[in-house]
A and B are shown apart, each in its own frame.
Chain A
């Protein structure tokens, strides 16, 4: 992407077209205390795409998202978001830029001295949105994550899953065009994980955002790749294989592991998205719809080990990836 989207109004984002790169990492390196955590990461995320960053703990998933949000600066390489080189922006410009992104932190990172309603309304208050309008939008966002009844409660009174849901509401309240989810299901029980992933699916398919999602759970990647939220029925439905529009450029296909040394794996049976056991054991009725554009990026030893569609990951015979997939069983 060469053109920079001006950061002076949301209407500018309507100019973005599907397939246009929104987030570009070019040979990005970052390290701490003499240890280089990311060693030359390059990838692109196009408009409307959800990129799932998979990797073990400490592989640098969160660092990638924090750099994309301008919360960290790379040691070398360039990070371009909506045409803006994040590394060259000053903190004031970055603050303006961040008003167009949403960030869901691993533990929610809710302001513990504020109520749920105040947390969700925080950005609206900063932008000077009228109080009545702000209240309406806060209720709407909390209704979306099914937390409207917790308006006046404090984060300390909520469970881990509830805090994540409020955090998602806070990120979505201003309908940002880009969303970053940092391990949104980490440390949660399977049922709550399913609830969180359903919310992310709904957010993606109702608001059409471009997003990065860091996770250690393969199930999250397959959930996003194989399911969609149907606006007509209001249900989460399984995509038909031919309807999965995962963005697969020739360049990415080449980077996906070329050799398959072992037989293709079965789908992870422990997937929370597949745990309800109705038609084809998905828990969700199938539909003809499905517009997901989800790609997976696996990080290992500071480098991109795999990049491609979830199906390609599922059918790989690579030993390391197999181990990763097996962990979801």
Chain B
């Protein structure tokens, strides 16, 4: 019996195919994200689904945000206090904690935690619906799955992440104050006055603009990964992992550019 020869494709052609696939994926992602956003402005609206997602994303994430926010604030004081003590400037602890939390750590860490908790949930839920033909069933019933599944999740995330970030910032400051009080013997008035005065309008804009962008990235990437699932339950697992990894990487990269842009905008 003649053996069938395995055809090995040349490397350039394999590379070209790979690049083509990635470019097409980016194109699909952009189209889907645009569609999800534009669907938010035209009927029919799925307000109940949006409220349900706000509950899952917002209320559901609250405990981990509060817990981690508190300890991040605390650890920030522990790390900076040693440096400030060397120069006898422990009073500056409030400034350092406030600036670090509001400008950077609050938005970034909250977004990373929400990505870990919700991007995985969104991708696995939508992915499971795809492999069990529920998304096809939805289309067969005359309902647009992007409008019904993606738009409510994107809206809910955009509304909830900034609020969670504010909570995280506040709880972080409380945690920082408590650690400063017990380790540095820093008074409440001193800590809070310095913390509040250290922040200006630009810092608040920076701290509140980032969550909107991060929320859009997390929700759209998670929905996109879920909607393009192939290969049964294994595919759902892959999509879940990709949703968390890709959204986390993109949001950290984007963070650098937004920070640069906002620092330039507020002349810092």
- A residues near B (Cβ < 8 Å) are 66, 69, 71, 91-92, 94-99, 101, 103, 105-107, 109-112, 122-123, 126, 170
Contacts and interface: CB of A to CB of B under 8 A. Distances in A.
Interface of B: 44, 129, 132-134, 136-144
A103 B136 CA distance: 10
Q: Which 6 A-B pairs have the closest CB atoms?
A: A103-B140, A99-B142, A109-B137, A109-B133, A98-B142, A123-B141
A107 B132 contact: yes
A101 B140 contact: yes
10 contacts: A71-B136, A95-B139, A98-B140, A99-B142, A103-B140, A103-B141, A107-B132, A109-B136, A112-B132, A122-B143
Contacts of A126: 44, 141-143
B134 A95 contact: no
B6 to A, nearest CB: 15
B134 A111 contact: yes
A169 B134 CA distance: 16
A109 B132 contact: yes
A71 B140 contact: yes
Contacts of A123: 141-142
B137 A98 contact: no
B140 A112 contact: no
Given A94-B139, A95-B142, A98-B139, 18 more contacts: A66-B136, A92-B144, A98-B141, A99-B142, A103-B140, A105-B136, A105-B137, A105-B140, A109-B132, A109-B134, A109-B136, A111-B129, A111-B138, A112-B132, A112-B134, A122-B141, A123-B142, A126-B44
Contacts of B133: 105-107, 109
Contacts of A122: 141, 143
Nearest to B148: A126
A64 B141 CA distance: 18
Contacts of A109: 132-134, 136-137
A256 to B, nearest CB: 31
Nearest to A99: B142
A170 B134 CA distance: 13
Nearest to B141: A123
Contact of B144 (A66, A95, A111): A95
Nearest to B139: A71
A122 to B, nearest CB: 6
Nearest to A103: B140
Contacts of A106: 133
B4 to A, nearest CB: 15
A238 B34 CA distance: 56
A106 B132 CA distance: 10
A160 B143 CA distance: 25
Nearest to A106: B133
Contacts of B142: 95-99, 123, 126
A96 B132 CA distance: 23
A99 B139 CA distance: 9
Contacts of B129: 111
A61 to B, nearest CB: 15
Contacts of B139: 71, 94-95, 98
A109 B136 CA distance: 8
A71 B145 CA distance: 12
Contacts of A112: 132, 134
Nearest to B125: A113
A56 B134 CA distance: 24
A110 B136 CA distance: 11
A170 B137 CA distance: 10
Contacts of A170: 141
B137 A95 contact: no
A174 B132 CA distance: 23
Nearest to B143: A126
B184 to A, nearest CB: 50
Contacts of B136: 66, 71, 105, 109
A112 B138 CA distance: 12
A307 B134 CA distance: 32
A105 B132 CA distance: 10
A91 B133 CA distance: 18
A103 B144 contact: no
